[in-house]
Structure 1
Amino acid sequence: MNKKLFGVSFAQKKYDLALKYCQPAAEQGDPEAQYYLGLMYNKGFGLKQDYTEAMKWYLKAAEQDNKDALCSLANMYLEGEGVKQDYTEARNYFIKAANLGDAAAQYNLGVMYSSGDGTKIDYIEAKNWFLKAAEQGQAKAQFNLGVLYFNGQGVKQDYFKAVEWHQKAAEQGYADAQYNLAKIYYLGKGVKQDFVNAKKWFEKAAKQGHAEAQCCLAGLYIQGLGVKQDLMNAKKWLEKAAKQDHAEAKAFLSDINSIFKS
């Protein structure tokens, strides 16, 4: 009963009520309650922020293989939040959570190995962890796996697989994947060159505020590729990108404004 009540209360941001149900359950050894109590101390939800208390409760939950607590400990070490930054400790906690099947931990390990955070860059390890998370439907992992296949990093270059994984992430609304997929259709890498599909995916990313996609979408309108030439629409998207300080968009916008003035 208490477990259900503190979870519901926390989701509703009723932190006083969540604490009322969470504290006794945590003290009785409930790992989920211990995780939530750690989170409340970590983020200052309904309590004064206290990293020492957060660490204490996360550790208790982690000792019982609570995946969320393991990931939270990893993130504290990764960001140096209340502890000295320690990539090795972060990786160790992510590995524990990842081996319990946590997709976020698997994704974070992929990031660490692909970027070399606290470890030697290892694209094969990165690919293995991204794949585990991607197969659980984690969009960011699907996107990163697609990038590895596109670039041939840790895997044999395979544009078809790059398209497949980008598509999965793009369909979940991940803007970077939508942008990359649009570029793939624009260039015809692993797919038949298709400006209509390029426009479709550039537009989806652009509507989420992706500046590069906004600029590229404007380019399609300027050239009339995959869409009827429309300088007004091009101007609209360039203005959106320019507001994000996109240099190329600013230059194109200046050119278009000159056309309208002439």
Structure 2
Amino acid sequence: MKKIILLSIILLTTSFCEDLFELGLEAYNKDEFDKAAKQWQKSCDGGNIDSCTNLGTLFENGQGVAQNYNKAAALYKHTCDSGDTTGCHNLGVLYERGQGVEQDYTKAAKLYKQACDDGVNDSCSNLGLLYENGQGVEKDYYKAAQLWQKGCGDKFSMSCYNLGTLYNKGQGVKQDYYKAAQLWQKGCDSRDDMSCYNLGILYENGQGIKQDYHTAKEYFGKACDLGLQQGCDAYKKLNERGF
């Protein structure tokens, strides 16, 4: 009988915490960050891991609470240790930046790998950058390419852009301008300014695709519209040449 009563209490507590989590999400989506913080604090105190991770994000960004990287790091560590891969990723970011914790690229790499292995694409992208730059791990373009290939799914992510850069330069993979163009096309379609700009460069130079100054100008214009000054400058130069 005691076991049944205890289980009922646990279920009721869990349900209550989930309700608070949802109320926090509702408030957050309305930009009512102070209300979100209060709901997630209560839910986190009751053991809801997702609420703890979200509360950490509020402390990291100073939304609804005073910005406090130490508290954010503590919350992310708690949720990561509890199996939440988003918490692991976010803690990795803090270690990479040295915010709330002493900067440690090796720890960042381990946390990114843990989250990447569990399907967090942003972690794959960040870990790839560490391999590209040799931070916390030995520089390895091939591993960077593998990670970015893994992180570039059906939807565009920075992994797709970064992988395109490696194909463009022939680092870690055989140089292939056409594959770079495909990846940057995906990025440009998702309104990534640098993808549009780089695609314009390929069209301007006829690398991997047929040279077409008018199409190049079109992509430079898109990059410019997205706020990239390089795109505006390249568009202006082609315009002055009569394209």
TM-score when scaled to structure 1?
Answer: 0.81
| Structure 1 pair 213–220 and aligned structure 2 pair: CA distance change class (3 A) | same
Percent identical residues: 30
Matched, 1:214 2:196: yes
Q: Runs of 5+ in structure 2 lacking a partner? A: 1-10
Residue 39 of structure 1: how far off its partner (Å): 3.4
Q: Describe how 1:77-116 pairs up with structure 2 within 5 A.
A: 77-116=59-98
| 1:94 partner amino acid | Y
Q: Give per-residue Cα distances to partners, 1:132-190, cap 9 Å, x unaligned.
A: 11111111111001111111111111111100111111224233221111110010001
Q: Describe how 1:1-262 pairs up with structure 2 within 5 A.
A: 30-44=16-30, 49=32, 51=34, 54-260=36-242
| Structure 1 pair 91–205 and aligned structure 2 pair: CA distance change class (3 A) | same
- Give me the whole-angstrom Cα distance separating, in 2, the residues matched to 1:42 and 1:193: 45
RMSD: 2.2
Q: Is the 8 A contact 1:26 1:37 kept in 2?
A: no
| 1:33 partner amino acid | D
Q: Is the 8 A contact 1:212 1:241 kept in 2?
A: yes
Q: Runs of 5+ in structure 1 lacking a partner? A: 1-24
Residue 248 of structure 1: how far off its partner (Å): 1.9
Residue 217 of structure 1: how far off its partner (Å): 0.5
| 2:126 partner amino acid | N
| Structure 1 pair 130–33 and aligned structure 2 pair: CA distance change class (3 A) | same
Residue 79 of structure 1: how far off its partner (Å): 2.3
| 2:75 partner amino acid | Y
| 1:183 partner amino acid | T
- Give me the whole-angstrom Cα distance separating, in 1, the residues matched to 2:84 and 2:177: 38
Residue 42 of structure 1: how far off its partner (Å): 4.8
Partner of 1:10: none
TM-score when scaled to structure 2?
Answer: 0.87
| Structure 1 pair 100–232 and aligned structure 2 pair: CA distance change class (3 A) | same
- Give me the whole-angstrom Cα distance separating, in 1, the residues matched to 2:13 and 2:79: 23
Q: Secondary structure at the match of 1:141?
A: helix
